[in-house]
Amino acid sequence: MATQKEKGQLFRALHQREGAFVIPNPWDLGSARLLAGLGFEALATTSAGYAFSLGKRDSAVGRRAMMAHVAALAPATDLPLSVDMENGFGDEPQFVAETIQMAAEAGAAGGSIEDATGRPGDPIYPLEFAVERIRAAVGAARGLAFTFTLTARCENYLHGRPDLADTIRRLQAYQEAGADVLYAPGLTSHDEIATVIQSVDRPVNVLVGFKGIRLNVAEASELGVKRLSVGSALARSAYGALLDAAEEIRERGTFYFGDESVSFSTLSAKFPG
């Protein structure tokens, strides 16, 4: 099993090579091991996917439960794990720094901090305060005994603020605060993505797997994207299949969904004994 130091170095190196790489988002041990077995090079948690697995909505899990989730996922595979730490689970910069430390102690090789407040009436932190929070996260990450890759997220597009100029201004400020990777989930056009990439000098993560964006790995590499993540898309796909099958049973009394399901033997063979 790779050590945390080795995972941290590997994760950073993925951002330094040519082309884009895909970091899929498992939501439990089974999905993590399946994805690792398929040959992916790193994994990332999904706050929404994990919340769904607990029967909760996104952002309703809390820091303690999320760190227990990380502690279970991190040693489950040899792959580096990056953690969706939401907004650090608290407003104050020191609280964010503590969250970084906790994620590292749980086995993470990296993680993201977003600038969303979690408050519908005031969804995005003021820029100056958002920068303080990223600076605190960077300080905590740099104080670790291994390489921890910190991603700073601008959440404008996910909260009804499709302001590209402000998004770029924020990402540039997070870059200056020391973030290793930049991320603005919700961008949908190639032009927007290219403009963001040309405006910063750090690796950029792009969210794919949702309606409105059409971008494959080759196109992403050509644009200069370094990392592609799918957020809750894999979890939503799995739960969508469950809903479709259950609705077929409940509404029609049939079981044809089984014709399209992966076989028991195929799935079982992908897990260790």
Q: Concatenate the DSSP letters of all residues of 249-261 into one string.
A: IIII---GGGGTS
201 token code pair: 């000098």
What does the alpha-carbon distance between residue 72 and residue 85 come to, in Å, rounded to a whole number?
Answer: 15
Over the stretch 8-63, which tens digit does the pLDDT of each residue have?
A: 999 999 999 999 999 999 999 999 999 999 999 999 999 999 999 999 999 999 99
- Quote the pLDDT of residue 1: 85
| SS3 state of residue 74 | helix
**Distance from the Cα of residue 54 to its chain's centroid:** 18
Binned at pLDDT 50, 70 and 90, residue 273 comes out as confident
Residue with tokens 């291994």: 146
Q: How large is the C-alpha radius of gyration of the chain?
A: 19
- Quote the pLDDT of residue 128: 98
- The residue length of the chain stands at 273
pTM of the complete model: 0.97
- Quote the pLDDT of residue 61: 96
Phi-psi region of 233 (alpha: psi -120 to 50; beta: other; left: phi over 0): alpha
| SS3 state of residue 12 | helix
Contact 148, 104 (CB under 8 A): yes
From the candidate CATH numbers 1.10.287.3510, 3.40.50.150, 3.20.20.60, 2.40.40.20, the one assigned to the domain spanning 4-232: 3.20.20.60
Over the stretch 199-234, which tens digit does the pLDDT of each residue have?
A: 999 999 999 999 999 999 999 999 999 999 999 999
- Quote the pLDDT of residue 70: 98
CB neighbours of residue 73 within 10 Å: 26
